[in-house]
Structures are given as C-alpha cells and as structure tokens.
C-alpha cells in the first residue's frame, strides 16, 4: 500500500483528552478517531490489526471445535425479559424501539439469543455438545467511557457459547477453549496471565479471566513469582501456616486507650506490632450478624466470607447495629465476652499469643489476650485477602501483585439461562433436562489496545509481527531523487511479493517520515537513501532500534529473520 493512497493521519501533539498510553498512541499514530464518547472509527491501520487478531481468534476457535455464526445486534426485549436481564441489566443496556413501538436491546452479549436459537433447534443429546461463536460489534452504554478502546461503548467481541448434556463435556470444552485462549494471546505477543476469577452472582462455577499485565488495569492480580498461578486477589486462597511464638501466656488485662481507634493508633500507643492485634469486625451475612476476626496487618475478604457461608450478601454492619449488639463503637470491638453472635476467625488468629483487642467499651482495649483462653472462636477459616510475599497457593514460589486489563473470560454458566429460558434436551432415556452451558469472550478491539499499551516506547508503538498492520515500512528519503525513487518502486514490488508493505511515497521531509514510522510501529523499516545507486539500503529493527546497511539482494532474508524474532 502506498501511503499517499491511504489515510494515516498522524499527529505531532499529544491529544489532550487521551488518558492512557495506548489511547494517546493510537490517536497520534492515526489508528483511530473518536466519533462520540466511547465510540471510535478504526482507520485503515487499525482495521488491519483487527483483521489479524480476528484471524488468530478464528483459527484457534475452529481448532478448539467452535463453529462460527453471526447473530443480530438488535435483540427483542422479550428474550431479555425471559432471562430476567431486561430489568437487572440496568442503563448499560442500550434500548430502542422500532417504528411499530416494539422494544429492542442493542446486544452487549448474546446469551439470550443463542439460548433461544439452540432451544428451538436442538432437542436431543445426540446433537450435543455444540460450541458456537461469533465475532461481532457489541454495545454497552458505559457510564464513564475511558482509556480509548479499552472501555468503549461500541466494541468488537468474540463471544462463544457451548451447550452440553453433562458436566464432564462442559469441563472438556472449557479446557479446550482455555487452551485456545492461551494460544491466541500468546500469538498476539501479549504478556498475560490466566487468572482465577469470581463466578459471582451468575450461578456458575469455574471461571478464568485472561489479563494482560499493565499498570492501568483496574483489577489486581495475585500471581506466583515462580509458576503460572494467578488469581484475582479476592479469589486467591491463603495457604500460609502460622506458628505460635514460644512466649508464655500472660493474664488478660484491660488498659485505657483514649481516642485510639485504628489498629495503627492502638499498636503504636501500646508499642506492639500490628500482627499482635486482633482486628474485629461485625459483618452481616444474609442479614445475620457474625463477628469476624483477622490479624491487624491483614484485611478481611468478603468474597471468602460469602463463599464460606454460601451467602448471597455479605456486608459490614452499620455503626448503630454494632452499638446495639456489642455495646460500643466500631473502633472498640473485640471478641472477649461476646456470646450473642458467632465468631469466625482467620487461621492467623489462632497463633496469636498475648495479643491486643478492643474491649467492647469506649477508650479501652485488652492486652495479653489469648484465643481459646480469653474467648472462643466458632470456626477458624481462610477469610483474609492474600498479600504480596504470601506463599503461592499452588506451592510454587511466592505471591506478587500486578494490575491487569481483562481481554478474555471463560465461564461455566451451568443452567442459569437454559432453565430460565427452557432450553431442554431429551437425554438417552428420553428424559427432559436443561442444557449445561459455558460462555467464552474475547475483547477483540480491547486486545488491539492492550497490545499498544504493552508494546511501545517514547517514540511510538512497537507492534509484534503477528499483529502488525504491515510487516515492512519502506521509506524513500527523497522521492525527487531519480535513483531513490526508482529503487523504492522496485523494492515496493519485490518486497510486496512476500511481505505486507507500506510505502511512504509522500513528498515529506525525511524527519517527518522517520518520526511517523516510529510512531506507527511497523516491525521492520527499510530506508532508501543516498546509497540507493550502490544498491544499499538501511534496515531498522523497530523494537531494538538497531540499524544496519543491507545489500538489496540480501534484503528479503534480512526482513524474514527480523520478523521471526519480533
């Protein structure tokens, strides 16, 4: 492609309204333009990258046994009413009505449509399992669209849905798609982790998020410094073991701690470590009060509490409720003498010797508190957030934290939709059963942004070869120079036989061309300059910045080897 024939509107200035690196770079390098808040045009370079990501996704989904189809963006309200999401989805669901006043949603996802399709067409266990996917534009009316394509309102997704007659079949397809996703993100060149996630209110079981590591991520990942283990921090089990100090138990004693309320204030005032303090919090678990104890240097994890009690809601009790039940303010709560509520403690509490806790009395704490002696715990469990330095739950290495951008999600839906929408099949015995479902998403346009976010330097984007908009950027330093112009045209032809090539044939200053080239970030740059008449060109590796002179007859091999290593 000659640059004079396409549209690559690079910008010198950093756009004022762009908030993160990828957003700034994609605007500056002429990949995208905003049409409205959270709504973008993919200009020719971005469209090429999207096409490459989509091809990789298709290849791996097909290998994993998926079959592509295409469902409509306009979805009838009736389907969403059947699943109950017409009400529950909230204002992120874009709604409209047609000229006959029938209501529609613009699909943010297609569980309802696919479930209704498969319910109508598949009646027997013989036609299961079935894995269907599509690559499609989705709509979600984000409250605060931001980060460019990372959180837009119109975006491209690959969404897949699988239907099964047994959990084993779901497990098998889930694993196959999990592997396909790993391959897809590896092929895109991304540094990612498959992260154990919370299946939340969806009623599902296993779920993993594929996270691209990045400081701008909104989720925190706990990952092993040694193995591939990774989980959302709420989900990571704590496997640390705690050993009591050899110190002799002393007698409990009430001390005045005037105006000292937080763990930090109390531990400083009493000159003890935070890990000697017992943090006591009154929670409401499905409406019932529970006193929760974690060590002063730990944080209580409400997701773990929720799972422990198999509860629907877990929340901190309000101040008034704490006063009513325990007779004191929130900062003075402790377990000693408490008998009217259940006491749940983290495993770390069991190892505390001569600890400190609130006395359920304003301005007083107990010191020399010993669990089992001074108070009884109903149940010890893992109820705290994992921390950096904790052992990795898989037994390999220690935990580190990172931020991540979610680019993929695999999820065992179970029968959430098939039951609500009556997607039943007849099993071998002729019995009617709800289909078991899985769903699997990849943010295609988000993946494009995540790649730009992860691969760049102060001059621009650095595309991995597999998803680069072109392989080679050919630059003629001076198009008015006869030798340069003719060698460039010649190379444009010959390189173009083998590689995807963008040829900067514009009448621009060399400085402008080089700056644009670095900004756009095509892996290999070939510059035709003064040595054109000697058949010598300059080859630059965008990633390393390394520049070498190459005889034109060796050019194709040089390009090939640079691409293989990028």
Using CB under 8 A as the criterion, which residues of the chain lie in contact with a second copy when the complex forms?
1, 4-7, 9, 33, 35-36, 39-44, 46-48, 50, 65, 67-76, 91-92, 94-96, 98-99, 102, 104, 106, 113, 117-118, 120-122, 126-127, 130-132, 134, 137, 139, 141, 143, 153-154, 506-507
Give the residue with the Cβ less far from a second copy, 37 or 226. Answer: 37
Q: Closest distance between a second copy and the C-beta of residue 388, in Å?
A: 38
Give the residue with the Cβ less far from a second copy, 278 or 448. Answer: 448
Q: Return the structure tokens found at 104.
A: 């529609």
Q: Rounded to an integer, what distance in angstroms lies between the CA atom of residue 12 and that of residue 32?
A: 15
Q: Closest distance between a second copy and the C-beta of residue 423, in Å?
A: 14
Q: Closest distance between a second copy and the C-beta of residue 561, in Å?
A: 28
Q: Closest distance between a second copy and the C-beta of residue 83, in Å?
A: 15
Do the Cβ atoms of 480 and 508 come closer than 8 Å? no
The angle that helices 44-63 and 444-454 make with each other, rounded to 10 degrees, is: 110
The H-assigned helical ranges of 89-248 are 111-121, 167-187
Q: Does 129 sit behind a cis peptide bond, omega within 30 degrees of 0 on the bond before it?
A: yes
Give the residue with the Cβ less far from a second copy, 72 or 545. Answer: 72
Phi and psi at 361, nearest 5°, equal -150, 130
Give the residue with the Cβ less far from a second copy, 128 or 314. Answer: 128
Q: Closest distance between a second copy and the C-beta of residue 343, in Å?
A: 44
Give the residue with the Cβ less far from a second copy, 104 or 229. Answer: 104
Give the residue with the Cβ less far from a second copy, 76 or 166. Answer: 76
Do the Cβ atoms of 526 and 515 come closer than 8 Å? no
162 conformational bin, left if phi > 0, alpha if psi -120 to 50, beta if neither: beta
Q: Rounded to an integer, what distance in angstroms lies between the CA atom of residue 436 and that of residue 205?
A: 12
Q: Closest distance between a second copy and the C-beta of residue 39, in Å?
A: 5
Give the residue with the Cβ less far from a second copy, 56 or 221. Answer: 56
Q: Closest distance between a second copy and the C-beta of residue 412, in Å?
A: 20
Q: Closest distance between a second copy and the C-beta of residue 9, in Å?
A: 4
Lay out the sheet containing 278-285: strands in order across. Answer: 314-316, 278-285, 288-295, 342-346, 379-381
Q: Rounded to an integer, what distance in angstroms lies between the CA atom of residue 61 and that of residue 322?
A: 53
Helix (H, G, I), strand (E, B) or coil at 94: strand
- Full DSSP string of 535-559: TEEEEEETTT--EEEEEGGGHHHHH
Do the Cβ atoms of 154 and 139 come closer than 8 Å? yes
Q: Return the structure tokens found at 151.
A: 């959180």
Helix (H, G, I), strand (E, B) or coil at 166: coil
Q: Closest distance between a second copy and the C-beta of residue 478, in Å?
A: 17
Helix (H, G, I), strand (E, B) or coil at 413: strand
For residue 284, give every residue at least 6 positions away whose Cβ sits within 8 Å of its Cβ, in sequence order, or none: 290, 313, 314, 315, 316, 317, 321
Q: Closest distance between a second copy and the C-beta of residue 429, in Å?
A: 17
Q: Rounded to an integer, what distance in angstroms lies between the CA atom of residue 207 and that of residue 32?
A: 32
Give the residue with the Cβ less far from a second copy, 305 or 476. Answer: 476
Give the residue with the Cβ less far from a second copy, 314 or 472. Answer: 472
Q: Closest distance between a second copy and the C-beta of residue 53, in Å?
A: 13
Give the residue with the Cβ less far from a second copy, 117 or 216. Answer: 117
Contacts of 536-540 with CB under 8 Å at 24 or more apart are 537/487, 537/491
Q: Closest distance between a second copy and the C-beta of residue 121, in Å?
A: 4
Q: Return the structure tokens found at 503.
A: 């040829």
Q: Return the structure tokens found at 519.
A: 């900004």
Give the residue with the Cβ less far from a second copy, 12 or 553. Answer: 12
Bridge-based pairing of strands 436-443 and 424-426 is unpaired
Q: Closest distance between a second copy and the C-beta of residue 508, in Å?
A: 10
Q: Closest distance between a second copy and the C-beta of residue 127, in Å?
A: 8
- Full DSSP string of 342-408: EEEEEHHHHT-SSEEEE-SSTTEEEEEE-BTTTB--SEEE--B---TTSBPTTSSSBEEEEEEEEEE
Give the residue with the Cβ less far from a second copy, 7 or 264. Answer: 7
Give the residue with the Cβ less far from a second copy, 129 or 355. Answer: 129
Alpha carbon distances (Å) from 120 to 116, 358, 418: 6, 61, 12
Do the Cβ atoms of 236 and 400 come closer than 8 Å? no
Give the residue with the Cβ less far from a second copy, 74 or 533. Answer: 74
């Amino acid at each position: 492609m000659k640059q004079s024939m396409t549209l690559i509107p690079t910008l010198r200035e950093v756009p004022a309204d762009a908030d993160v690196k990828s957003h700034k770079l994609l605007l500056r390098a002429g990949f995208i333009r905003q049409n409205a808040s959270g709504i973008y045009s993919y200009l020719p370079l971005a469209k090429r990258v999207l096409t490459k990501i989509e091809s990789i996704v298709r290849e791996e989904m097909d290998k994993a046994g998926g079959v592509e189809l295409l469902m409509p963006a306009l979805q009838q309200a009736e389907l969403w009413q059947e699943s109950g999401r017409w009400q529950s989805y909230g204002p992120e669901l874009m709604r409209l009505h047609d000229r006959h006043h029938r209501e529609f949603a613009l699909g943010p996802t297609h569980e309802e449509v696919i479930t209704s399709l498969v319910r109508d067409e598949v009646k027997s266990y013989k036609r299961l399992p079935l894995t269907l996917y599509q690559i499609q534009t989705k709509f979600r009316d984000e409250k605060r669209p931001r980060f460019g394509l990372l959180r837009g309102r119109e975006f491209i997704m690959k969404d897949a849905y699988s239907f099964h007659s047994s959990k084993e079949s779901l497990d098998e397809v889930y694993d196959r798609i999990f592997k396909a996703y790993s391959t897809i993100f590896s092929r895109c060149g991304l540094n990612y982790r498959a992260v154990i996630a919370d299946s939340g209110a969806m009623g599902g079981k296993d779920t993993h998020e594929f996270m691209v590591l990045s400081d701008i991520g909104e989720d925190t990942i706990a990952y092993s410094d040694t193995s591939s283990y990774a989980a959302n921090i709420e989900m990571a089990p704590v496997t640390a073991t705690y050993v009591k100090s050899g110190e002799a138990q002393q007698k409990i004693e009430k001390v005045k701690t005037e105006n000292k309320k937080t763990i930090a204030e109390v531990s400083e005032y009493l000159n003890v470590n935070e890990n000697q303090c017992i943090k006591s919090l009154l929670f409401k678990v499905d409406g019932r009060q529970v006193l929760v104890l974690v060590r002063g240097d730990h944080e209580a994890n409400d997701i773990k509490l929720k799972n422990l009690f198999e509860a629907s809601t877990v929340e901190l009790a309000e101040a008034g409720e704490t006063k009513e039940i325990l007779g004191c303010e929130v900062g003075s709560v402790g377990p000693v003498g408490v008998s009217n509520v259940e006491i749940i403690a983290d495993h770390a509490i069991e190892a505390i010797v001569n600890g400190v806790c609130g006395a359920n009395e304003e301005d007083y704490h107990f010191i020399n508190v010993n669990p089992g002696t001074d108070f009884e715990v109903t149940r010890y469990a893992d109820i705290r957030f994992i921390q950096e330095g904790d052992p990795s739950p898989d037994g390999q290495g220690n935990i580190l934290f990172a931020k991540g951008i979610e680019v993929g999600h695999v999820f065992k839906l179970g029968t959430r939709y098939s039951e609500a929408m009556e997607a039943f099949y007849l099993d071998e015995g002729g019995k009617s059963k709800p289909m078991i479902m899985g769903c699997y998403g990849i943010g295609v346009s988000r993946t494009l942004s995540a790649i730009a976010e992860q691969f760049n330097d102060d001059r621009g984007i650095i595309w991995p070869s597999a998803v680069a908009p072109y392989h080679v950027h050919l630059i003629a330093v001076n198009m008015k120079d006869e030798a340069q112009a003719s060698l460039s045209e010649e190379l444009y032809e010959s390189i173009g036989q083998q590689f995807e090539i963008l040829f900067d044939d514009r009448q621009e200053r060399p400085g402008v061309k080089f700056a644009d080239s670095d900004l756009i970030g095509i892996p290999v740059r070939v510059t035709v300059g003064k040595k054109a008449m000697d058949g010598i060109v300059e080859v630059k590796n965008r990633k390393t910045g390394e520049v070498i002179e190459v005889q034109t007859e060796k050019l194709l091999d040089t390009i090939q080897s640079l691409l293989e290593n990028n």
